[in-house]
Amino acid sequence: MTILDRRHLLTVLGSGLVTAPFIIPARRAFAAGDFQQRLAAAEQSGKVSGLDALLVSQHGKLLFEHYGRGVNEDISRNTGDIVTFGPEVLHDLRSVSKSVVALVYGIALAQGKVPPPEAKLYEQFPDYADLAKQPGRDKITIAHVLSMTMGLEWDELTVPYGRDLRNSEIAMEAAPDRFRFILGLPIVGEPGVKWTYCGAATAILGRLIFKGTGEKLPAYARRVLFDPMDFGPSEWAISADGEPRAASGCRLLPRDMLKLGQLALAGGAWQGKQIVAADWVKHITAPVVHIGGPRSYGYHWYIYDDMVDGRRQYWFGGIGWGGQKLYVFPGFDLVVAMNCGNYRKPGIEQNRVNVAVLTEVVFPGLT
């Protein structure tokens, strides 16, 4: 069943992390090879489908760029026209948006606009002082929000997204006051212990950015991150209550999504300018909580770190439903950005396509 596949993928492996380890080759540089020929063969064989965009860069240089044809689906509309994707066509990032928010939060933190990780969560929301008085809530910090370890009752995976209020994300969207809803959630565990995939955490970060800067998340992200990196147009879906869909609403050009990976790989620097503090990039891409096997979660970024046959298998990145993947392989100085339109396929099938792109198209080019 699709629902079970999705829950397996997201809960056990971390919102779309690989369902089976793929082997990163020992080779370190790209040979001149026919990416397009390998991709065509993978598509012909059925190993790759629904690929809207694939971009590969190494040492800061774009090596390969491919665009497909499919439905240009917008999360705010859940529908779209059939288009030929290209450098000027926006694409949903879905939950890669969470990793974008982590970068933006770091910029606001460096400016002294948002609370640091050690700050108490409920102290940032004095309008909800009645909730803050409840036992145990004083233990929750911003670090727990960033690492999705708040210990609050939340489940957006068991029941599919749609209109069913048993899905916590849908219930939050329907609440008359989303932040009272979030901050009033029952405490079910000790903060900092267990990772629970939680769009509410990203919503809190977006709200803190607004409270500290006076700018809504999309505008602030545009000013401090997107414009300094010379991004093209961008969009951010807005909920019915006027709040940006911080966790999943960002739409970027594929080249700009790739730039985010290049920025993280370079420790927050872009073309000689420090956009995000290097220490912050190190923090968000470092393991904070274990989520299964070699997989960990940092501050809204995923980390995969394992040893296979004596070789380290390591990458960090952002992951979104439908097959959106931003992989950063520091050992290769390599970034791979994928956009897919496989929103209605089971999660395991989505991931199978992502892995096939790496193993059939990208990695064979390494020498």
The residue extents of the domains of the chain are 2-365
pLDDT recorded at residue 28: 63
- pLDDT band of 125, cuts 50, 70, 90: very high
Q: With pLDDT > 70 as the criterion, what percentage of the chain qualifies?
A: 92
Q: Which of 13-27, 69-83, 103-117, 167-181 has the lowest mean pLDDT?
A: 13-27
Question: First vs last Cα of the chain: how many Å apart?
Answer: 40
pLDDT recorded at residue 16: 45
What mean pLDDT comes out for the span 226-232? 98
pLDDT at 257 over 90: yes
Which residue do the tokens 């869909």 mark?
245
Burial of 119 (0-12, 13-18, 19+ CB in 10 A): middle
- pLDDT band of 27, cuts 50, 70, 90: low
Of the two residues 129 and 161, the one the predictor is more confident about is: 129
What mean pLDDT comes out for the span 305-314? 87
pLDDT at 5 over 80: no
Q: With pLDDT > 90 as the criterion, what percentage of the chain qualifies?
A: 84
pLDDT recorded at residue 18: 43
Of the two residues 19 and 289, the one the predictor is more confident about is: 289
pLDDT at 3 over 70: no
pLDDT at 55 over 70: yes
Q: How far apart are CA 136 and CA 183, in angstroms?
A: 12
- For 2-365, the fitting CATH number among 3.40.50.720, 3.30.420.40, 3.20.20.80, 3.40.710.10 is 3.40.710.10
Q: How far apart are CA 1 and CA 158, in angstroms?
A: 12
Q: Which of 3-17, 73-87, 126-140, 205-219 has the lowest mean pLDDT?
A: 3-17
Those residues whose C-beta lies under 8 Å from the C-beta of residue 185, and which sit 6 or more positions away, are 152, 153, 154, 200
Per-residue burial over 276-313, b if 16 or more Cβ lie within 10 Å, else e, is beeebbebbbebbbebeebbbbbbbbbbbeeeeeeeeb
pTM for this entry = 0.93
pLDDT recorded at residue 167: 96
What mean pLDDT comes out for the span 117-139? 98
Sign of torsion over alpha carbons 114, 120, 125, 127: negative
Neighbours of 65 (CB within 10 A): 18
Give per-residue pLDDT as tens, 311-347.
Answer: 888 999 999 999 999 999 999 999 999 999 999 999 9
In the predicted model, what is the mean pLDDT of the chain? 92
SS3 79: strand
SS3 256: helix
Which neighbouring-strand residues pair with 238? 244
pLDDT at 6 over 60: no
Of the two residues 49 and 308, the one the predictor is more confident about is: 49
pLDDT recorded at residue 2: 24
pLDDT at 273 over 50: yes
pLDDT recorded at residue 4: 26
pLDDT recorded at residue 307: 87
